Amino acid sequence: MSTLAVVGAVLLLAAVAAMAVLGGVIPDVRAFQCAYAAAFAGYGLIVWACLRHGGGDPDRKSGTRGGVSRTVGDPRTLPGRWPWWLAGAVAARIALLTTAPSDDVYRYAWEGRIQAAGFNPYVVAPDDPRLAGFRDDDWSHINHRDYPAIYPPLAELEFRLLAEMGAPLVAFKSVHAVWDCLTIVVLSAWLKAVGRPQHLAVVYALNPLVLTAFAVDGHVDSLMVLLLALCGWAAARQRWSLAGAALGGAVLAKLIPIVVLPWLVWRRHWSAAGVCVAVVAAGYSVYAADGLAVFDSLRRFAGTTACFSPTFPALVRVAGQYARLFAAIAILLVLGWGLRRGEILERYALRSFAVVILLSPVVHFWYLAPVLLFCAHTPRASWLVLSCTMLFYFAAEEVRRQTGAWAMPAWVPWAVYAPFAVMWMAASITSRLNAPGHPSPSEVHSDG
């Protein structure tokens, strides 16, 4: 197994080097997809070796304290000490910083600049005539220029701070890679705190999807994932006020972590829940001068946009204009089911993020990052496979290169989601067949 891990590491680093030479996704989409596939092959060997040596099911020989898992695991899951693997993960991110960023990064820089000039990004859109004097070559790269800001306040405050520091465009991407590196450090400490092997952090740290999302594209979601990891670590250490503050910060970076708040309430961690709510309220108060304008773009985007969802088109065919309501009800039912089952934090959060992504009308590849964070605790083969098949997502960039309009080919959702669905259903059937017994500690679970 050590040999497999070493071969996988060499293959992964070679693929990362190829991604860096290519300069990112856009210059040559098909070549980048090939490099991504090669990177995932190396990653798969590493994860396989890791899970075959003590990184299996946390349900066996485990207990809970405050609803947080406590499991004894074999720390020798991969050859070499964990700091060497951490250094390799950081080196891979550094190598990819020279690549071209996502067009979202141009919006981050724009919204930081106009805040520094005294404008509220939730009120004025990039194409607002009042901002004509701020337009430069980077402005043409901004997508949805008729939308004011949609990102929550902590993300906007980060953009403003970087702009006031005079940071160049590359800094808006680089800082998100830094948050991602810190996430790996916190995740490894979190795994150690719950008695899991630190080497399991490679499930998140070396995943090509994560590398592409943050080191190549530079998405702000890395700030949310970092704060989620900090929340989990603090909960594992029974530092509930810190856990609540970190969760509140995560919600202020991206709204989806709000699904964890019901778990804190259900478990009666009142201090954590109270601090979380207070942090969120304080963050939104910074932009409260213009009232509910802070939610305008979010309401507009969530109410009218649908993109690359595996289930939402079917919901629309069944429920029509009530599809979003049906999706929201289904999400609430799954959250309630997880609470009633008394699931530990890591398992509840994994299930909650998974169902939100599957039922959301808008899904982009980097939305999988928080699921992969929790997969480091409870590996799910179906989600790891989905992170691989997301390489087809980039076909939309090839369409944009040829036509000038970002559009997803009709075959792509099938190529991306069909393997995931097959893996999920197979694991569900296997789980039911094996219900009377106990799975092997080395089994890779793959139920949704």
8 A C-beta contact, residue 255 and residue 272: no
Sequence-distant (6+) residues with CB within 8 A of 49 are 1, 2, 4, 5, 8, 77, 78
Neighbours of 427 (CB within 10 A): 19
8 A C-beta contact, residue 375 and residue 200: no
- The whole-number pLDDT of residue 3 equals 87
Q: What is the DSSP string of 111-158?
A: HHHHHHTT--TTT--TT-GGGGGG--GGGGG-SSTTS---S-HHHHHH
Strand partners, 362: 307
Residue 295: pLDDT band (50, 70, 90) is confident
Q: How far is CA 430 from CA 17, 62, 319, 348, in A?
A: 39, 22, 32, 21
* Residue corresponding to tokens 């197979």: 426
Residue 1 has pLDDT above 60, yes or no: no
8 A C-beta contact, residue 50 and residue 4: no
Burial of 137 (0-12, 13-18, 19+ CB in 10 A): exposed
| High-pLDDT (> 90) share of the chain, % | 81
Q: What is the pLDDT of residues 236-274, one digit of tens each?
A: 999 999 999 999 999 999 999 999 999 999 999 999 999
Which of 1-15, 33-47, 345-359 has the lowest average pLDDT? Answer: 1-15
Question: How far is residue 119's CA from residue 160's CA, in Å, rounded to a whole number?
Answer: 11
